[in-house]
Amino acid sequence: MAEFAETIAGPTQIDLPDPQTREFVEQWRNASYNCFSSGHKFCREVCPVMQVSRNESWTPTAFHANVVAMEKGELEVADIASDYVNCTQCGACELRCPNTLFTGDFYRFRTRTVDVVKAVRALAVDKGIHQPRWQTWNARTNDKTHEPVLGEEDISQDNVRNWAEGLDIPIGGETILFVDCEAAFYRTSVPRAVAQILQSVGYEFGLMGEQWCCGGPAAEMGYEEQARRFARHNLDNWRSTGTKRVLVLDPHDYISFTEDYPKYFGAEYDIEVVLVVELLAEMIRDGRLTPTVPIERTITYHDPCRLNKRKGIWQEPREILRAIPGLTFNDVDRVTQWSYCSGAGGGLAIEKPELTAAISRNRLDKAAELQVDTLVSACPWSERPLSAAGQDTDIDVVDIHELLAESLGITVGGSRGAS
């Protein structure tokens, strides 16, 4: 469909005085007309923000329709920039959109709401339109080279490897473990679990020489120049320590390294990116890891949006959970989970923490319907708001890597955060 723009969206002569807006509209008009002209609105009910807000201006439909209005000169980015805060970039709407579902297979087309949202945010920042908390967050990230996550640990370059204290992990080498800011400074039990599981099978890896934030959150909030600068630093640092393979435990980093970095660096980017959950599932399949310590919990699994909906990774976490003895696993269909989100992604938790909290409460309510005592996640960023919501429903929120480590008899150590 995108290739038949003249038929669907009419002539492409765009007559807007502002060059940045014109360039933006030229890039996104076809995607937006595809939505605007079909207007199915199937996407709205799976949108986690719509579910808690019922605000028509904060829907995938509106996010596309605004671009059509911008092309007609009826709106400017300043009029609508603050609406685009209200998206976790979960990808649910893209999957549910009939343009993806019914014609996508044939035309290899997918609705790209996440990219539209990112592009509007980037245009806003380019034009000097800032959301106050995002501006502060990104300025602090720029200063500290890490996200200013709240916790007891001081955010600094000196402390980014503190989580690994006592684990005797070398610096650099062919394979390194990249630990996202939330896990490195707040939920340190997650990287400790991963590192010790890998050490238990003799898997060789190091830590990054000078790790900066992956840059993904800046890219998600529209601070693209900063995101590219951070990515450049990380790629150069990997090169300086002979690194060819990066292990990733956080789904947001996985998106950055597999989608943003290839876009920034093109053919220069020759780094193999390995998602830890996939690696551990493979090790269980091959018999290299055998969890034996029974864990008596009744669980369900929270599919992180960036794994299930954005990357189609839903089987491997379930393989891991089914290998752990003692667990009662009350799963729901992964397609049903398209509509679930923690609310933590896309910068929403920074600018609109009350919306994130409401979305997390929704997620815990869904878990409670399954009569579970534990919600397992594979995303450190989801675990803080989910844990806070879990306190109200008496459901414990546990990280999948930690659960596996426990069943392997490993005492993880570190902090599970304050909540």
Name the residues that contact ligand SF4, by CB under 6 A: 35, 38-43, 46-49, 60-61, 64, 87-93, 97-99, 111, 113-114
Shortest distance (Å) from residue 345 CB to ligand SF4? 8
- Tokens standing for residue 255: 């998106």
- Tokens standing for residue 145: 């080279």
Shortest distance (Å) from residue 74 CB to ligand SF4? 19
Residue 88 vs 138, nearer CB to ligand SF4:
88
Neighbours of 99 (CB within 10 A): 22
* Residues 214-252: b if buried by 16+ CB within 10 A, e if exposed: bbbbbbbbbbbebbbebbebbbebbeebebeebbbbbbb
CA distance 94 to 47: 10
CA distance 302 to 133: 28
Shortest distance (Å) from residue 43 CB to ligand SF4? 3
Residue 110 vs 401, nearer CB to ligand SF4:
110
Look at residue 403 and give its three-state secondary structure: helix
Residues 364/389, Cβ–Cβ less than 8 Å: yes
Residue 53 vs 330, nearer CB to ligand SF4:
53
Shortest distance (Å) from residue 319 CB to ligand SF4? 26
Look at residue 88 and give its three-state secondary structure: coil
Residue 64 vs 192, nearer CB to ligand SF4:
64
Residue 144 vs 310, nearer CB to ligand SF4:
310
Residue 104 vs 206, nearer CB to ligand SF4:
104
| Residue that is written with structure tokens 């996939």 in the block | 278
Sign of CA dihedral 387, 153, 249, 326: negative
For residues 124, 129, 134, 136, the Cα torsion angle rounded to the nearest 10 degrees is 140
Residue 46 vs 218, nearer CB to ligand SF4:
46
Shortest distance (Å) from residue 108 CB to ligand SF4? 16
- Tokens standing for residue 118: 């990112």
CA distance 81 to 70: 12
Residue 81 vs 208, nearer CB to ligand SF4:
81
Shortest distance (Å) from residue 389 CB to ligand SF4? 17
Shortest distance (Å) from residue 393 CB to ligand SF4? 22
Shortest distance (Å) from residue 217 CB to ligand SF4? 15
Report which secondary-structure segment, H or E, holds 391: helix 380-393
